[in-house]
Amino acid sequence: MSEDRTSQTREERLAEKLRENLRRRKAQSRAFQRESEPLCKNESDS
C-alpha cells in the first residue's frame, strides 16, 4: 500500500510540475508574440 501511495504522490508532483511548465511556456510565448508584433507591423508598412 505504501508503494501505491508513494507513486501516486510522485505522479501528482510530476503532473503539477508539468502544469507549471506549460503555464510558464505559454506566458513566454505570449510575451514573445507581443514583442514581435510591432516589428512585423512596422516592417509591413515600409
Top pLDDT among 6 and 28 is at 28
Question: Mean pLDDT for the chain?
Answer: 82
pLDDT at 21: 98
From the centroid of its chain, how far is CA 21?
A: 4
For 3-14, write each residue's pLDDT tens digit.
677 778 999 999
* Segment 25-40 mean pLDDT: 85
The b/e string for 20-45 (b: 16+ C-beta within 10 A; e otherwise) is eeeeeeeeeeeeeeeeeeeeeeeeee
Number of structural domains the chain divides into: 1
Q: Where are the beta strands (DSSP E) in the chain?
A: none
13's grid cell: 508532483
> What is the domain range of residue 14?
1-46
10's grid cell: 510522485
